[in-house]
Structure 1
Amino acid sequence: MSGRRPAPVVTGTVRPGWEGVRDAFARGQAEDPGGAQLAVRHGGRTVVDLWTPGTGRFGYGAVPDGGTGARGAAGAHGACGAAGAGGACGAAGAGGACGAAGAGGAYVAESAGGATRAGSTYGADGTAGAGGAAAANGVPGAATGHARRTGAEAGGDAGTGTGTRSGSATGSATGGQALRVDSVGVLMSVSKALVAVCAHLLIERGVLDPDDPVARHWPEFAAAGKAETTVADLLAHRAGLPAYTDDPAGLPEALLLDPAARVRALAAMSPVWDPGKAFLYHAHTYGDLVGEVVRRVSGESVGRFFAREVAGPLGLDLWIGLPEREEHRFVPQRAVRPDPTPGQVAQAVERAGLVPDDRLATSLRASSAELGRATASFGTRRGRAAEFPAAGGIGDARSLARLYAALVGRVDGVRLLSAATVDRARTPRTDHLPQPGALHRLDGPDRSRFGLGFELPRPGAPLLGEGSFGHAGAGGRLGMAHPESGLAVGYVCTAMAWEPSAGPDPRWMPWTDAVRKAAGLGGG
């Protein structure tokens, strides 16, 4: 025995000229114990549609379906729950000043009711061996919808199949549920882009303006010094509300699972810094801040608005609140390392230069606790059904790619946003601002960059290069687009492995480079 590990099984299709992406995806997943999906569209057409069930070699937190394991205090993108993309803000400074934990120590989810389809197989042409359930709002189910929409069948627009048979649809080396062609999973902070799209639809329709005071649409929000806070402040993480409470223990679970209670808490809160004068990643509160504006303007929750206005017209398997009939498709995410304890988070906040009883310090600790509870809830039916707009979106890579493709061009006749709206959304809104309080001393070249609701490229999350926009999520999920090239990409994974303080996720880099090369953008 040489000790050489076998290459991951990669199944799916690529178009001619994009074969290098398949090989790069396999290299990127070679050490990943979890499963992953990668979908790429170019000029609105599917060119890559791949997935792998993973190696199954979890060294931490690997428990059979139905069990529970480490429950995460890690925030979207980094330790302390308020860290920005790449750990560049919050308690984690650029370069990992926090050090308490990398993103990815989130939790081991409970099984989605144990409803796996034993024995089903998925061949190289990407078609399912068993029928999928119908999605919400009349969106076709996986077995019928995915093949029609993505060309994953032989003769579809993804070209000839280049994958290999993945074998059984259930089971893994750890007893977990393997990723399948029709699987969906938690998107973590990739979900924030779904919320941003809803806001931009209302902006484009003229019923909302980024410069509007939030209180114009949500009068209760004017309390406690927030009368001048704008919609743009919410979208760009400038609102000064990174947590729901000043209690470092965070909002109790009973209130955290109640959307109305979360909104009431935010309306009553006074900002931790002057809105618009600094920025800090709002790991969980972002979804309720922007989502409540969407609700006040549209008359329906952000999850329902997204389903009707975005997912329905495009035929997406993306939800903010998973319908019960889709539970059989859910695959849990898994931790690859333990999470920081509350004490470790507190120490990390102090190491960042914050006085323990300072409001910013307590907000960071509260955000960590709140996001940990929310993330743990995604291992339950109640948590998946609830609308946690900032981190609780559920879907697959194909739908992410299709969504982003419809932001920068037409997909089956549907374009969601105009080019002017996309340009406004990807215009930098935080490059000129410091992080609040003592955290400004941690500013560096890899700090977070935000437009209106989307992340912008930086060394730790380069996306598709200059001009691209998108959003990463804790553990390594990623959705993004590059308008000038017509590229749109979705990547979904089950192992919470990305450590933002160490730079880009190693799983991304091979295929990101290959995608750029295939699209004529050059590598690197």
Structure 2
Amino acid sequence: MTDTRDTVTVHGTVTTGFEGVRDEFAAVLAADHTEPGSQLAVYHRGGLVVDLWAGEGITGDSLPAVYSSTKGAAHLVVALLIQDGAIDPERTVASYWPEFAAEGKGQLTFRELVSHRSGLIWADGGLGIEDLADDRGVAARLAGQRPYWTPGTGYGYHALVIGALTGEVVRRVTGRSIQEIFEERVRAPHGLDLHLGLPEALEPRYTAIRPPVATPAQAAEAAANPLDPDSLRARAFGFAADPPLDLIALVNTRAVRALGPASFGGVGSARGLAGMYAAAVDGLDGRAPLLTPATVAEAGRVRYRGTDLVTGQTDHFALGFETVGADYPALGEGAFGHSGAAGSQAYADPVNGVAYGYTRRRFALPGGAAPENERLSAAVSEAVAKL
């Protein structure tokens, strides 16, 4: 189906009852005058009920970078390994990875690590694009790094490195990488268009992320409140580096896409993102859900409360996933997922049987889940409530 409204042409389909989601998708794109281009996919109880896209050069099969929505894929692997009993979240990281004990980190548990409590948000000497592409190299650097706060005493978003850290534990336990396990246990069996390591053959489908376009109000806000280069936020995102890390160039680099670093290097469609959470919680194509009800509950449970030392968000992390209920109040208790810097969002709402995926081509300011996700998520929740 093709639907043209206010000069925005919306492609794709919705099932009966979800027409309001298509209307809202068209409305938010019509209101975005910075060259709209995005995808939206929603599964309900394991069935695809929304599959929409719009924008020049965008199709339902386009594969943009999803930045930190990658963390959802990485920590789905972690959840599976905990569910299997291969990783004990209460054991210390150093018991799996002895080198990690350096600089006072020996008592940090794996649960604390995956909850962003290690204090290892960056490496002395900096991390360039080529460095960040290599999870094993990042892990080796951070094993000996002095943390930015006493491990276990608080949490702060390890924006560009958490997947390298948790991935090294996965490697020490299984002998395999997060990327390999994701491919074999999640992506390939379900035919998901979400890749932690984009094959060369799929490069023609890659949709490059484009730089943001600031509104006058956003530009004025940035000028009035410049980021402190010594802040934890500046360090965690590489903005304190010399030169500052270019987040657009980071994902638009073939080496990053090829290796798929587990913190930010995933490439996929909205269908792939939503399909991953549907496979995890509800099951796809007649397959059993990847996660047991107990693991699903654990994935969305906040164990450590407080304010994020990097982003200022509150009670933000569960088992490596972001809690999303505070951002989208209509969701059921225990909803979990992960957003990405360019504006992507993906989550599971187990109570209501919803799996949601959204991607953007142009980087949305100020970063993280694009503002339109609030409207789109509300439209999805309203449609589900009326079924």
Tell me which interval the TM-score lies in, with the shorter structure as reference length: 0.7 to 0.9
Shift of 1:252: 3.9
Work out which of the residue numbers 37, 44, 48 in structure 2 matches 1:42: 44
Q: 2:30 is matched with which residue? A: 30
Q: Measured at CA, do residues 464 and 498 of structure 1 come closer, stay the same or move farther in structure 2, by a change above 3 Å? A: farther
Work out which of the residue numbers 296, 299, 302 in structure 2 matches 1:428: 302
Which structure features the higher share of helix residues? 2
Measured in 2, the distance between the counterparts of 1:217 and 1:344 equals: 46
Supply the AA of the counterpart residue of 2:301. T
Q: CA RMSD for the aligned pairs?
A: 2.9
Supply the AA of the counterpart residue of 1:22. R
Conserved in 2, the CA contact under 8 Å of 1:28 and 1:506?
A: no
Q: How does 1:443-458 map to 2 (within 5 A)?
A: 447=314, 449-457=316-324
Shift of 1:271: 1.6
Work out which of the residue numbers 281, 286, 291 in structure 2 matches 1:408: 281
Supply the AA of the counterpart residue of 1:29. L
Q: Measured at CA, do residues 425 and 368 of structure 1 come closer, stay the same or move farther in structure 2, by a change above 3 Å? A: farther
Conserved in 2, the CA contact under 8 Å of 1:303 and 1:320?
A: yes
Conserved in 2, the CA contact under 8 Å of 1:188 and 1:391?
A: yes
Conserved in 2, the CA contact under 8 Å of 1:284 and 1:367?
A: no
Q: 2:342 is matched with which residue? A: 475
Shift of 1:374: 6.0
Q: Secondary structure at the match of 1:495?
A: coil
Shift of 1:368: 5.3
Conserved in 1, the CA contact under 8 Å of 2:332 and 2:351?
A: no
Q: 1:486 is matched with which residue? A: 353
Q: What TM-score does the superposition give when structure 2 sets the normalisation length?
A: 0.88
Measured in 2, the distance between the counterparts of 1:258 and 1:21 equals: 39
Q: 1:101 is matched with which residue? A: none
Supply the AA of the counterpart residue of 2:121. P
Moved more, 492-501 or 189-198: 492-501
For residues 89-127 of structure 1, the C-alpha deviation after alignment (integer angstroms, 9 at most, x for no partner) is xxxxxxxxxxxxxxxxxxxxxxxxxxxxxxxxxxxxxxx
Q: 1:83 is matched with which residue? A: none
Deviating beyond 6 angstroms after TM superposition, the runs of 4 or more aligned structure 1 residues are: 343-346
Measured in 2, the distance between the counterparts of 1:220 and 1:34 equals: 47
Conserved in 2, the CA contact under 8 Å of 1:10 and 1:50?
A: yes
Work out which of the residue numbers 371, 390, 408 in structure 1 matches 2:263: 390
Conserved in 2, the CA contact under 8 Å of 1:11 and 1:51?
A: yes
Q: How does 1:208-247 map to 2 (within 5 A)?
A: 208-245=87-124, 247=125
Q: Measured at CA, do residues 385 and 230 of structure 1 come closer, stay the same or move farther in structure 2, by a change above 3 Å? A: same
Q: Secondary structure at the match of 1:181?
A: coil
Conserved in 1, the CA contact under 8 Å of 2:66 and 2:342?
A: no
Q: 1:378 is matched with which residue? A: 251
Which structure features the higher share of strand residues? 2
Measured in 2, the distance between the counterparts of 1:365 and 1:399 equals: 26
Supply the AA of the counterpart residue of 1:519. V
Supply the AA of the counterpart residue of 2:198. L
Measured in 2, the distance between the counterparts of 1:473 and 1:228 equals: 30
Measured in 1, the distance between the counterparts of 2:289 and 2:345 equals: 21
Measured in 1, the distance between the counterparts of 2:224 and 2:257 equals: 26
Is residue 515 of structure 1 aligned with residue 380 of structure 2? Answer: yes
Q: Measured at CA, do residues 521 and 391 of structure 1 come closer, stay the same or move farther in structure 2, by a change above 3 Å? A: farther
Q: 1:91 is matched with which residue? A: none
Q: 1:499 is matched with which residue? A: 366
Conserved in 1, the CA contact under 8 Å of 2:307 and 2:314?
A: no
Q: How does 1:102-113 map to 2 (within 5 A)?
A: none
Measured in 2, the distance between the counterparts of 1:516 and 1:308 equals: 32
Shift of 1:224: 1.6
Q: Measured at CA, do residues 386 and 271 of structure 1 come closer, stay the same or move farther in structure 2, by a change above 3 Å? A: same
Measured in 2, the distance between the counterparts of 1:240 and 1:183 equals: 36
Q: Secondary structure at the match of 2:74?
A: helix
Q: Secondary structure at the match of 1:489?
A: strand
Give the count of matched residue pairs: 374
Shift of 1:406: 1.7
Shift of 1:365: 7.1
Work out which of the residue numbers 342, 349, 369 in structure 1 matches 2:228: 349
Shift of 1:263: 1.4
Work out which of the residue numbers 163, 168, 173 in structure 2 matches 1:297: 173
Shift of 1:213: 0.8
Q: 1:125 is matched with which residue? A: none
Shift of 1:337: 3.2
Q: Measured at CA, do residues 196 and 259 of structure 1 come closer, stay the same or move farther in structure 2, by a change above 3 Å? A: closer
Measured in 2, the distance between the counterparts of 1:259 and 1:374 equals: 17
Shift of 1:410: 2.0
Moved more, 180-189 or 450-459: 450-459
Measured in 2, the distance between the counterparts of 1:49 and 1:427 equals: 29
For residues 480-515 of structure 1, the C-alpha deviation after alignment (integer angstroms, 9 at most, x for no partner) is 1111111111111111114269xx733223321221
Shift of 1:390: 0.6
Q: Measured at CA, do residues 478 and 298 of structure 1 come closer, stay the same or move farther in structure 2, by a change above 3 Å? A: same
Q: Secondary structure at the match of 1:186?
A: strand
Q: Secondary structure at the match of 1:471?
A: strand
Identity over aligned pairs, percent? 39
Shift of 1:28: 1.5
Measured in 1, the distance between the counterparts of 2:247 and 2:118 equals: 21
For residues 451-493 of structure 1, the C-alpha deviation after alignment (integer angstroms, 9 at most, x for no partner) is 0111113655658354311111112100011111111111111
Q: Secondary structure at the match of 1:510?
A: helix
Shift of 1:181: 2.4
Measured in 2, the distance between the counterparts of 1:335 and 1:322 equals: 22
Q: Measured at CA, do residues 400 and 258 of structure 1 come closer, stay the same or move farther in structure 2, by a change above 3 Å? A: closer
Instruction: Show structure 1 runs of 5+ residues with no match.
Output: 54-171, 173-177, 351-355
Measured in 2, the distance between the counterparts of 1:254 and 1:457 equals: 32
Shift of 1:383: 2.2
Q: Measured at CA, do residues 10 and 520 of structure 1 come closer, stay the same or move farther in structure 2, by a change above 3 Å? A: same
